[in-house]
Each structure stands twice: as structure tokens, then as C-alpha cells.
Amino acid sequence: MWEQYKKTFVIMHLFFVGFVLAAYFAIHLPWEVIVVMLLVMEAGTVMGAWWGARLKRSVDKNRNRLPLER
């Protein structure tokens, strides 16, 4: 899972920083709301990396099987 997380770490956190700055300066949201949104985005990133790693394992496992194998 961590390999998948490391692949998207920089891009996702650059997006997070842009989102936080836009939410604070353009929309004028309070810091408490921004922190909660940031934590939710981070949790989504970790869960997405976990799910992607699980899918990759499943595809790799099935790729090594013979077509008529049951």
C-alpha cells in the first residue's frame, strides 16, 4: 500500500495546499472547517492507496493463472 501512496504523495499534497489556500483566502472558511476537510482528504488518500494496492494484487494474482484454470 505504501508504494501506491508514495506514487501520488507529491501531487495530492500540492492539490491539498492549493485547496486549503483557496478555501481560506477566496471563500474565507474558518480554520476549523479547513482542518476537518484536510483530514478527510488525507483519509481518502490513504484509503484510495489501500484500495489501489488491493486491486493491483488481485490483477497480478489473476494474470499469472492459466485461462482454463478453475
- 15-42 residue pLDDT tens: 999 999 999 999 999 999 999 999 999 9
Single out the residue of 11, 69, 70, 12 nearest to residue 41, CA to CA: 12
Cα Rg of the chain (Å, integer): 18
pTM over 0.95: no
| Res 22: pLDDT | 92
Q: Which residue has the higher pLDDT, 8 or 43?
A: 43
Which amino acid is located at 46 in the chain? V
| Res 70: pLDDT | 60
Q: Which residue has the higher pLDDT, 4 or 56?
A: 56
